Amino acid sequence: MSMSLLTFTDKGIYCAAADVYIDPWKPVTKAFITHGHSDHARWGHQQYIAQKDAVPVIQYRLGDINIMGISYGETIKVNNVKFSFHPAGHIIGSSQIRVEHKGEIWVVSGDYKVENDGISGSFEPVKCHTFITECTFGLPIYTWPDQFDTYQKINEWWSKNKSEGVTSILIAYALGKAQRLMHHLDPTIGQIFTHGAIENTNKVIRGQGINLAKTTRITTATQKSLIKGNIILAPSSAVNSLWMRRFKPFSLAFASGWMNVRGIKRRRAADTGFVVSDHADWPGLLEAIKATECENVITTHGYTDVFAQYLNSKGWNARTEKTEFSTETADGEKADNIEEAE
Ligand SMILES: [Zn+2]
């Protein structure tokens, strides 16, 4: 049997034929990066290659690195192995990476979602023999409601709070979720204020020529009276902080896929929870896998064993590989290394 096109080593997902790693977790010579979240784009590689819209955030986080940006669909050849990047719909610039060698095609999903959120690009199914997939929400209980119904619920919650003189605080992941929610908040209700961690990310994204909703950074000089009744976007690290307490009275809500599960909202001391995820739900994972027309599936992070077992029962050849990609958890979203300064 010939050597696998991609293997799992102690440094990361490795293509021996090209001597290239995909989202490696230890320093390597050449790294192809699916997206800017800190568990996929790590420090210490000699050379980085990512989709061009993902480059500014990676540079912001990692500083002076040697990075090249390429467009979706463009092919790079390394030792006769062809690599190309395809939209993953997860955050701005997020990609699935397609690898082709001697007629064999593998795709590494990175993180993905199949619904189009309006700013992260539309997930593109890529045909392959082997699909390496995340399965953060790989259990049948995770089925997302229609995202537009959820945006409407968020706007109604904000509007009601405003009419009662209460400030709305919406907790969202600083890179990805926050920008997506901003895009769907109704500007006729009021103003959007932001925690520094989110505004730092916004600044980088606006700097690359992408339009985002109008936001105002909260600083120590911002008057509380200007914020009252408006909405604040903040990361989960701000919950229960002194920073947050000064906005009382407020209503606190989380926007996360974990809000799908009863009990979590209470544990996180939220008044409300909205089910919004930047990962595929159970039907989304299955839809994505079917669309690749693959025979083999490798699950990397999330409910890997259960999901692989299910796929095997449905005729795929599925297995799990151990990686160091973090799974965002119900108790606190993964850290994103974007400075949480005001
Ligand atoms: Zn991610």
CA of 271 to the centre of ligand 1 (A): 26
Q: Does residue 168 lie within any of the structural domains?
A: yes
Among the candidates 242, 274, 306, a domain finishes at: 274
Q: What pLDDT score was predicted for residue 2?
A: 56
Residue 300 has pLDDT above 70, yes or no: yes
CA of 221 to the centre of ligand 1 (A): 33
Q: Does residue 331 lie within any of the structural domains?
A: no
**Residue 93 carries which side chain, given as an amino acid letter?**
G
Q: Does residue 223 lie within any of the structural domains?
A: yes
Range of the domain at 24: 7-141+278-320
Helical segments of 164-209, H only: 177-184, 196-207
Instruction: Please indicate, yes or no, whether residues 130 and 67 belong to a single structural domain of this protein.
Output: yes
CA of 336 to the centre of ligand 1 (A): 9
Residues with CB under 5 Å of ion ligand 1 are 37, 111
Domain count along the chain:
2
And the tokens for 227?
A: 């914020």
Residue 338 has pLDDT above 60, yes or no: no
Instruction: Please indicate, yes or no, whether residues 130 and 184 belong to a single structural domain of this protein.
Output: no
CA of 111 to the centre of ligand 1 (A): 5
CATH number for the domain that contains residue 26? 3.60.15.10
Residue 335 has pLDDT above 50, yes or no: no
Q: What pLDDT score was predicted for residue 267?
A: 59
Q: How confident is the model at residue 334 (pLDDT cuts 50, 70, 90)?
A: very low
Instruction: Please indicate, yes or no, whether residues 85 and 62 belong to a single structural domain of this protein.
Output: yes
CA of 217 to the centre of ligand 1 (A): 24
Q: Which of 301, 337, 6 is nearest to 197 (CA)?
A: 337
Phi, psi of 308 (to 5 degrees): -65, -40
Task: Report yes or no: 33 and 23 within 8 Å, Cβ to Cβ.
Answer: yes
pLDDT in tens, 251-297: 999 998 888 876 665 556 688 999 999 999 999 999 999 999 999 99
Across the range 51-73, mean pLDDT stands at 97
CA of 302 to the centre of ligand 1 (A): 12
Lowest-confidence segment of 69-78, 178-187, 217-226 by average pLDDT = 217-226
CA of 90 to the centre of ligand 1 (A): 7
For residues 337 and 201, give the distance between their C-alpha atoms in angstroms, rounded to a whole number: 11
And the tokens for 342?
A: 């005001």
Report the chain's mean pLDDT, rounded to a whole number. Answer: 92
Tokens 């995770």 belong to which residue?
Answer: 142
**DSSP annotation of 146:** P
Instruction: Please indicate, yes or no, whether residues 250 and 284 belong to a single structural domain of this protein.
Output: no
**Residue 22 carries which side chain, given as an amino acid letter?**
I
Residue 332 has pLDDT above 90, yes or no: no
pTM of the model: 0.93
CA of 35 to the centre of ligand 1 (A): 7
Residue 1 has pLDDT above 50, yes or no: no
CA of 173 to the centre of ligand 1 (A): 10
Of the chain, the percentage scoring pLDDT greater than 70 comes to: 92
Q: How confident is the model at residue 342 (pLDDT cuts 50, 70, 90)?
A: very low
Among the candidates 220, 249, 274, a domain finishes at: 274
Residue 340 has pLDDT above 60, yes or no: no
Q: How confident is the model at residue 326 (pLDDT cuts 50, 70, 90)?
A: confident
CB contact set of 6 (below 8 Å; sequence gap of 6+)? 13, 14, 15, 22, 99, 106, 108, 130, 132
CA of 228 to the centre of ligand 1 (A): 33
Instruction: Please indicate, yes or no, whether residues 25 and 65 belong to a single structural domain of this protein.
Output: yes
Across the range 106-117, mean pLDDT stands at 97
pLDDT in tens, 126-148: 999 999 999 999 999 999 999 99
Instruction: Please indicate, yes or no, whether residues 257 and 136 belong to a single structural domain of this protein.
Output: no
Q: How many CB atoms lie within 10 A of CB 272?
A: 17
Instruction: Please indicate, yes or no, whether residues 151 and 297 belong to a single structural domain of this protein.
Output: no
pLDDT in tens, 188-214: 999 999 999 999 999 999 999 999 999
Instruction: Please indicate, yes or no, whether residues 283 and 136 belong to a single structural domain of this protein.
Output: yes
Task: Report yes or no: 326 and 336 within 8 Å, Cβ to Cβ.
Answer: no
For residues 48 and 45, give the distance between their C-alpha atoms in angstroms, rounded to a whole number: 7
Q: From residue 313, give the alpha-carbon distance in Å to each of 155, 307, 317.
A: 42, 10, 9
Q: Which of 193, 13, 36, 63 is nearest to 120 (CA)?
A: 36
CA of 2 to the centre of ligand 1 (A): 32
Of the chain, the percentage scoring pLDDT greater than 90 comes to: 88
CA of 326 to the centre of ligand 1 (A): 9
